[in-house]
Amino acid sequence: MRHKSARCLVTGGFGFIGSHVVERLLEDGHEVVVVDNLSTGRCENLAEVQNKSQLEVHEVDINDAKRLLECFAGVDWVFHLAALADIVPSILRPVDYHQSNVDGTVNVLEAARAAEVKRFLYAASSSCYGIPDVYPTPETAAIRPQYPYALTKYIAEEYVLHWGQVYDLPVVSLRLFNVFGPRSRTSGTYGAVFGVFLAQKLAGEPFTVVGDGTQTRDFTFVTDVVDAFVTAAQSNVRQEIINVGSGSSYSINRLVKMLEGQVTYIPKRPGEPDSTHADISKIGKLLNWAPRTTLETGVQCMLENIDCWREAPVWTPDRIQDATKEWFQHLAKPDPHSSQTK
């Protein structure tokens, strides 16, 4: 079904997931307004679409309420993806995370309310489940953020739903599980596993497998996530929290086999679940969405795009130990809610 073209505002449009959302919306014939402060986003991420006439770019911080509001003129759909990511920096700079992820979200909600937008989609994080009791994990599972990033993304989700409840903003919160794909972060601090492994592969260094590598993750390919966002925008569903995952869970050992290379082992990290695995029955029912990209196909695509990670930092066990010091220092305490022994 062809939908009428909408004016879409994407916060974090220069980021990993945001840039894929922008490309897809342009492809579908929509107008796109990107709002990004370029703190972690990269201009190169939109290089392929930068000259499109339906694209408008604003280097604006979501905490700059006045300039943000100006960007919202005539906007129909909002995709709110701007946020600070990663665990370690959130432990080091919790106030920055609060300001970007919570205060920033409140500003985006207020601008969306003033502009009377028709749809508001929030990129929430499955990290709110912490170490779950139930697998596959449904949206109703207990909330147990293990570090400030997870907490701020969850509190912002509560704000989003509250604006839906109180002000009738048509909101949907999508809880994303381990998103991967081209342009997943290539610089900066120690973070998501794909960037770490691909840079190691290019440098001929061994893959740093955490623990014994039997832990499993629900790796979700970015174009499937984008499809979930667009489908949610086109729907009438509102005031819902919806998991977005592949619905499968693969071990790190299996992943390194697919990537092919030497392996070295590094210590298990505190606060990490042994598994993430989304229950995706709700999104199937509400949005008739299902993932299309298998891990094999996704990995193939990453290997074809491996040059993206040519400039990325190469993490060795020593550098990781140094970069994760605070992680071990602050999170290595027993979780009173956890049913797992670590």
- 37 vs 220, beta carbon nearer ligand UDP: 220
Site track 144-183 with ligand UDP (rule: CB under 6 A), x = hit: ----------------------------------x-----
Report the SS3 class of residue 209. strand
If one asks whether residue 252 binds ligand UDP (CB under 6 A), the answer comes out as yes
Which residues, numbered 271-290, are part of the site for ligand UDP (CB under 6 A)? 272, 276
Is 314 buried (19+), middle (13-18) or exposed (0-12) by CB count in 10 A?
Answer: middle
Site track 179-208 with ligand UDP (rule: CB under 6 A), x = hit: -------------xx--x-----------x
Residue 330 CB, nearest approach to ligand UDP (Å): 16
Residue with tokens 């290089």: 47
Residue with tokens 């945001």: 18
Pairing mode of beta strands 263-266, 207-210: parallel
DSSP string, 51-78: T-TTEEEEE--TT-HHHHHHHTTT--EE
If one asks whether residue 209 binds ligand UDP (CB under 6 A), the answer comes out as yes
Pairing mode of beta strands 216-217, 77-80: unpaired
Contacting residue, 210, 263, 306, 314, with ligand UDP by CB under 6 A = 210
**Which range in 15-23, 41-49, 209-217, 329-337 contacts ligand UDP by CB under 6 A?**
209-217
Partners of residue 330 on adjacent β-strands: none
- 29 vs 267, beta carbon nearer ligand UDP: 267
Residue 282 CB, nearest approach to ligand UDP (Å): 21
Residue 89 CB, nearest approach to ligand UDP (Å): 13
Name the nearest CA neighbour of 14 among 157, 183, 172, 173. 183
Site track 253-272 with ligand UDP (rule: CB under 6 A), x = hit: -------------------x
Which run of H or E residues covers position 210? strand 207-210
Yes or no: say if 150 and 128 are a contact pair by the CB < 8 Å rule: yes
If one asks whether residue 246 binds ligand UDP (CB under 6 A), the answer comes out as no
How is residue 142 annotated by DSSP? P
- 69 vs 263, beta carbon nearer ligand UDP: 263
Site track 285-324 with ligand UDP (rule: CB under 6 A), x = hit: ----------------------------------------
Active-site residue, from 97, 129, 149, 154: 149
Cβ atoms within 10 A of the Cβ of 27, count? 11
Residue 336 CB, nearest approach to ligand UDP (Å): 21
Distance, CA of 17 to CA of 10 (rounded, Å): 10
Number of residues that bind ligand UDP (CB under 6 A): 12
Residue 192 CB, nearest approach to ligand UDP (Å): 4
Yes or no: say if 225 and 18 are a contact pair by the CB < 8 Å rule: no
Active site residue 190: no
Distance, CA of 63 to CA of 104 (rounded, Å): 5
How is residue 102 annotated by DSSP? I
Distances in whole angstroms, Cα of residue 259 to Cα of each of 121, 239, 255:
33, 40, 6
> Which active-site residues does the annotation give?
149
Which residues bind to ligand UDP, rule: CB under 6 A? 178, 192-193, 196, 208-210, 215, 217, 252, 272, 276
